[in-house]
């Protein structure tokens, strides 16, 4: 793994926008001199390196599924701060094997030692359009003789084909009106496109426009059509906190992602992974609501997003904090493992999983210690 400089295409902005990355301007703070999509640099990998990372990702995913089984079997939902009334829904969903679609592991990797899991975005992962589409077209135009760790699109279509046969009809694809950047709208639109390519027809809807028909005991759209399948870019922890969530047990709606993914979209997952697989080379020691014996650590809220509400205690005792309102459910304390330094920038590898298989890579980097909404997306290639 190495970082190389390159000359951006003169019309790069128009091209990435034409490929669906229309939010690259709005989702990035305007005052930053560096764009969100930055093809003035790139990360280059060897094929053997990527194959090894793929194996690591799939092993981590299998371990995460074992954590779900552990939680369902032991009833340790309290570790994750999951409400008691939700626990039976998770158990039923898991036992039914409700179909899951995708997720993104965030990894610390420097090209030499083993990759370390930072967190798993298993419910509403973003950076999908840029990982799947924008960087693939960049590769085809700029480095047509090279390869890329990227089968995300094909795997999504194939997975939708597997899922579609068990669905009762068309699907609805939902985002929230609270999204001011357009990122969620474009991401869920891309998800709908992959489903349609697989033969599953869909309708777009805002979460705020979903209604409840008390007579039929069904969720409905604005035309009173029943929502039989809902693919949402809206986190489960928000859903179960809203009044209409109490109707979920009464409706036969298929949810994508399924509610059992609440176990994986919670940073207490990192605590349970370390408990079940202590000393695993791809894990960092992580504890719930206490640093235990850690002297240098990152304090993360169980349900935080975009690097908000974090506290970092460095080896020299210095501290850094990020702003945010998360943390009411509690925190995890993960051993501090500094991101690698490439020319003063610190990359995080976003390794994608579709169903149960490794599917691709997206890289974000920042000059700071925390990968937040000021980070830039950097394309990658595999040198052949």
| Domain map (residue ranges) of the chain | 2-266+340-382, 285-335
d(CA 115, CA 137): 27
Could you write out the three-class secondary structure of 107-119? EECCCCCCCEEEE
Tell me the per-residue pLDDT of 13-68, one tens digit each, with 9 for 90 and over. 999 999 999 877 766 666 677 899 999 999 999 999 999 999 999 999 999 999 99
Tell me the pLDDT tens digit for each residue of 260-312.
Answer: 999 999 999 999 999 999 999 999 999 999 999 999 999 999 987 777 888 89
Q: Phi then psi for 348, rounded to 5 degrees? A: -120, 130
Give me the residue label for tokens 């700071």: 368
Quick one: CA dihedral 155, 157, 161, 163, positive or negative? positive
Q: What is the pLDDT of residue 27?
A: 61
pLDDT of residue 330: 87
The parts of the chain modelled with pLDDT lower than 70 are: 26-31
- Identify the CA nearest to 194 among candidates 370, 371, 41, 354: 354
pLDDT computed for residue 297 by the predictor = 96
Closest CA to 382 of 135, 134, 57, 157: 135
Query: Percent helix, strand, coil in the chain (nearest 5)?
Result: 30, 25, 45
């Amino acid at each position: 793994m190495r970082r190389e400089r390159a000359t951006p295409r003169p019309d790069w902005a128009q091209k990435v926008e034409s490929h669906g990355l229309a939010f690259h301007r709005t989702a990035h703070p305007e005052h930053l001199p560096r764009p969100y999509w930055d093809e003035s640099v790139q990360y280059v990998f060897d094929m053997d390196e990527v194959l090894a990372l793929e194996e690591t990702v799939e092993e981590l995913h299998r371990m995460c599924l074992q954590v779900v089984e552990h939680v369902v079997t032991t009833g340790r939902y309290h570790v994750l701060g999951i409400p008691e009334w939700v626990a039976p829904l998770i158990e039923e969903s898991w036992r039914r094997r409700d179909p899951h679609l995708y997720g993104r592991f965030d990894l610390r990797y420097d090209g030499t030692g083993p990759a370390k899991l930072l967190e798993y975005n298993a419910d509403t992962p973003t950076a999908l359009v840029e990982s799947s589409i924008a960087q693939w077209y960049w590769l085809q135009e700029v480095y047509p003789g090279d390869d890329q760790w990227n089968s995300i699109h094909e795997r999504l279509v194939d997975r939708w084909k597997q899922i579609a046969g068990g669905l009762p009809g068309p699907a609805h694809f939902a985002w929230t009106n609270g999204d001011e950047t357009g990122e969620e709208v474009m991401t869920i639109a891309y998800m709908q496109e992959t489903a349609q390519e697989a033969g599953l027809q869909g309708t777009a809807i805002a979460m705020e426009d979903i209604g409840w028909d008390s007579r039929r005991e069904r969720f409905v759209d604005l035309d009173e059509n029943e929502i039989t399948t809902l693919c949402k870019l809206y986190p489960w922890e928000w859903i179960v906190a809203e009044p209409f969530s109490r109707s979920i047990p009464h409706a036969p709606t298929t949810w994508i992602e399924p509610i059992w993914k609440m176990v994986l979209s919670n940073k207490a997952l990192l605590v349970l992974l370390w408990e079940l697989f202590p000393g695993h080379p791809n894990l960092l020691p992580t504890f719930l609501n206490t640093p235990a014996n850690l002297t240098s650590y990152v304090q993360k809220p169980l349900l935080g997003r975009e690097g908000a509400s974090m506290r970092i205690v460095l080896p020299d005792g210095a501290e850094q904090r990020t702003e945010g309102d998360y943390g009411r459910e509690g925190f995890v304390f993960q051993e501090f493992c500094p991101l690698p330094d490439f020319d003063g920038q610190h990359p995080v590898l976003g390794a994608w999983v579709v169903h149960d298989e490794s599917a691709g890579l997206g890289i974000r980097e920042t000059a700071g210690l925390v990968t937040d909404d000021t980070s830039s997306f950097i394309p990658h290639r595999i040198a052949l």
